[in-house]
Each structure stands twice: as structure tokens, then as C-alpha cells.
Chain A
Amino acid sequence: MVFDSLDPRINRLNLHLQRQEEYKSVSLDQLPTYEVFLQLKPDKEYQHAGIVHAATPDTAFLFAKEQFSRRYTCTGMWVVSSSCVWVTQCMELEESIYDHLPDDLHETKESMSAYDIFHLYQRGKQHKHAGKLMASGHGDAVIRAKQQLDQGKPVLNIWSVKTSDVRTTGKEDLEIWSTLPQKSHREVISYRAGEKLKLFKEKKHGPPAK
């Protein structure tokens, strides 16, 4: 089959279809990654939604809004560089990482600062925010989390993040969710066609037999 391209980009930009040289992508060409956490309702904990690739925390915030909350709004969003998240190993079912913390978690010489702790309760589910605490490092934060945040329910995996590394939602950010209040064109409910189909069939075959 021979035809001109139906893609306007090919025709308008006069793209070369026969380039022979290898395409080379350098490291970080796709930018580093940020972990995104959403709060779906004011009284709910933040939970992990996924990642975005972005150059800065602010652009990560913007991309995350588009990627994870364009359809439904949320009451808050946090982004944090993947490189700033400290991770424990992942435990077996029913076993809690708090009962198997490695011995080398000790206090560091760092001064005290705020940390956010996230728990994974079930494989296949999202990490959830368990609480905030003051500590002198990630290891110390996890030791303190065992005292302050462990509720006995098995925690399979812990993420620790220094609060100052988190890009949170400020008052001035809230406007980004009010760009297009009418979102019904994204919803299944706007595409009901049963009535049309019924009329079409009736016109062909008469009304359905009682």
C-alpha cells in the first residue's frame, strides 16, 4: 500500500524517514525521578501514587498533578526525589520489619530534624504515610518509628524521608486543580448510547416482542 502520510507532523515538518544513524540517549536525558504521594481526602493519610520524571521538585509537582490527579482532584500532593527516600528490605507475609531491624541503625551526629515515615502493610498495595517524627538520621528515624508509630500490625517495608526534602502543597498551589472544573468528557457516564441503539434496532426489526 502506498500513500502519503496521514500524520500532519510528517508532512509539515518534512521528517526524514530513512535516517540511518543510531539514536543515542545520554544518561539523565529522561531526567531523574520523583516519588509522588497523594492525599485523597482531608482526613486521609498520604499514600504513594507512583513516580514522575522531572528536572526539579516544582516541575515534578506540576507533572504529578497532570499524571495522577487530572481526573479526580485530591486535597494534597507531595513529591520527593527518589534519591532522597531511604528504604528497608521487604518482609514476608505476617512478619514485621520492626521485629527485624538491622543492628547497624544507630544515631548519627546529625542534628535533630523532622522525618516522614511510610509503611507498606500489604504486598501489591501502596505505601501509606504513618507519621512524622524528630530524629537525627534515617536509621534513628526508623528506631523511633518502632516506638512511636508501630501499632502491632505487621509492616512489611518502611520508607523514611527527611521532611525538608518533600515538596508539599502550599495554599498558592491549590489553584492548579481548578483549571477545568467541567471534566465530564473524561467520564464513562457521558457516553451512554443505549437509547440510540434501541431506536436503531426498533426501526429495523420493530419493537421487541413482549
Chain B
Amino acid sequence: MYGGGNIFEASRFDNLAQEDPEKLAEFEARIARGEKIEPSDWMPALYRKQLIRMIEQHAHSEIIGALPEGTWITRAPGFQRKMALMAKVQDEVGHAQLLYSAAETLGKPREQMMQDLINGRSKYSNIFNYPAFTWADSTIISWLVDAGAIVNQLANSKGSYGPYCRALERICAEESFHLKYGHHAVIHLATGTKIQREMVQEALNRWWPPMMHFFGPPDKVSVHTEVLTKWKVKMATNDECRQQFLDMYVPKIWELELTIPDSNLKKNSQTRQWEYSEPDWEEFKRVINGDGPCNKERLAVRRTAEERGRWVREALLTPEAKYVTPLA
């Protein structure tokens, strides 16, 4: 799972004039032909920087995203649900590993990524700074947050960087299980008793606002985004992703006779676009900058895991071990 949006916010526009014009032209022609860029290829510094940032944030989102759902494994209702949720959470951690590897091929070691995450210098999807109060929250995450992630990931899987695309191919295959499992669990509650229906409705009410934040604020179109679009780093605008999500999932929520806590939500039959109340972007900014209900504990859990496992890693490490950038 993963939410984009926060990725392309203001970063100084690096001057492309410093790049070798011949190499830059070759690089751009290759992308225009639809070929992938591989780690050993020449690439502009801006391309490398943006990709590291984007893939790293995606990786962080996967391991941090495993936390709110992971806490429900011990209390899952029944053995089947427990097995499914364990498998899903294991997948998410696996996604993080795949993505960290892809980012590493661009030259940033995993140690540095972990350090930046724990010290709050690199972000992860904002939605995981919210708590999962009940079992129904965990089912809504599995269904709708993963649905949002799939919208993002499918778009990115058509990007230009080979290792990222390969990682996303594996990831997308597994996400379809998450989505189906999540939908199954939500249908079970929504078609169940009055108490179950109330529980899932309340969870939906809690997760709807962060879900509207999930794809990020509307993009400001700049030279920067234009270049990243041309280089197939940015594959869709935040609003395009949000519209696609609404198109696919609002009808599915309504068919369960659940209500969405936004009285302005409707599809405009003329523009064929969804209209909705503007999400509270001030809250989004506040939470992404550290002041959300769970930011501190998410990082504390991550930090503790790293620190307590360190002696095991040290004991295993052989003196000959040396770090080289992985290949693909």
C-alpha cells in the first residue's frame, strides 16, 4: 500500500543545463521510445534524485503501513481471517524489501534510508499516521487503502525505471489478493448484523477524510512536473488518481448501503468528474509534518525493531562482508 501525492512537493528545480546535452537527448529519446532505464545507464541527477525520493517513500509506506493492520492479527475474528491478515502483512513487508532494493540500485544504501525514516527526514504515506480502532478499521484499510495504493502502483508500473517497474509488477500481483480479501471482509460486516453494520460504517467515516488526502493535494503544474512527466517518473496527477479511485470504489461502497461522510460527493454527469468537499489540506500538512495521532509511535516501533535486532545482525556479519550497490 502506498499513497503518492506528498512526493513532488516543492523541491528546487535542478538546472538541467548542467547535464551533458548529448547524453540527455539520448536518455530522453530512449524514454520516448518506451524503453526502460537500467541502473548502469547514464541518467540526469534530477531523475536519480526524484526516483530515490519516490521509491524510498513508497518503501517506507509499506513497512509503516504494516503497523496499523499488524496490531489486529492477534485479535482477528477467527483462524481464516488471522491467516489472511498475516499473509497480507507479510506481503506488505515484502513489498518494502522489494522497493528498498529498487531504490538502492540508484545508489542510496538501505542504512541511510532507515536512518532518514526514523529521524523523520523522509516521509511515508500520511494515512498510516491514523489509528485502527476496531476490526472494521482493519478491513477498511485492506479494502480501500489498498485500492488507492493499486491505483497509484499501476500508474507507476508503467514508468521508465526498470528496477522499480519490476518490483511493482510483483507487488501489483499480490495487491489483488489484498483488495479481494479486504472487500470480502467488508462485505461480511456490511451484510451482517446491525452491530456489524454500525461498526463498518463508523470505520468508513473515520477513514474517508484520510482517504481523500491519500493522493495528495492537486498538483501545481510547474516546469518541474512537466520534466518528470516527460521522463515517466510522474505517471498521473494526484487528481487523476483520486478521480479514478472515486470512480471505481464509490459505487461499490454505495451498493453496500453504506454512506460516505461527504454530502457534496456526486458525479457531475456533464464533466464526468466527481465533485466533493475539498479535504482539509491544513490537517494533511500538519500530520505529514509529524503532528498526527500516531506519527510518534509508528517511528518508535520501527526504531525499537532496528535497535533490538542490531546485535543479531552484528553477530551474523562476517568480517569479509562488504557493501556493493545491488544490480537490478
Contact = CB atoms under 8 A, between A and B. Distances in A.
A2 B41 CA distance: 50
Given A23-B303, A33-B104, 15 more contacts: A17-B296, A30-B114, A31-B313, A32-B323, A82-B326, A83-B324, A126-B166, A157-B38, A157-B40, A159-B327, A188-B176, A191-B84, A197-B187, A197-B255, A199-B191
Interface string A160-201: 000000000000000000000000011110111100110111
Q: Top 4 closest A-B pairs, CB basis?
A: A124-B36, A55-B316, A191-B184, A191-B180
Contacts of A28: 111, 317, 321-323
A145 interface: no
Interface string A11-38: 0010111110011111111111101000
Contact of A197 (B84, B191, B296, B313): B191
A19 B257 contact: no
Contacts of B328: 35, 48, 50, 126-127
20 contacts: A6-B131, A7-B301, A10-B301, A22-B119, A29-B313, A30-B111, A31-B316, A32-B323, A35-B327, A55-B316, A70-B94, A82-B324, A90-B38, A92-B30, A157-B38, A185-B84, A191-B84, A191-B183, A192-B184, A193-B183
B87 to A, nearest CB: 5
A31 B306 contact: no
A193 to B, nearest CB: 4
A5 B294 CA distance: 8
B83 interface: yes
B191 A196 contact: yes
A30 B174 contact: no
Contacts of B301: 7, 9-10, 15
A28 to B, nearest CB: 6
A85 B183 CA distance: 44
Interface in A52-67: 52-53, 55-56, 59, 66-67
Nearest to B313: A31
A193 B179 CA distance: 12
Nearest to B292: A1
A93 B40 CA distance: 15
B140 interface: no
Interface string B93-134: 010011001001000011110110011000000000001110
B94 A67 contact: yes
A51 B188 CA distance: 38
B306 A56 contact: no
Contacts of B323: 27-28, 32-33
Nearest to B304: A15
A124 B166 contact: yes
A96 to B, nearest CB: 15
Nearest to A200: B191
B326 A35 contact: yes
A51 B321 contact: no
Interface in B284-300: 293-294, 296-297, 300
Contact of A90 (B41, B94, B300): B41
Contacts of A70: 90, 94
A153 interface: no
Interface string B253-269: 00111000000000000
A83 B162 contact: no
A136 B71 CA distance: 54
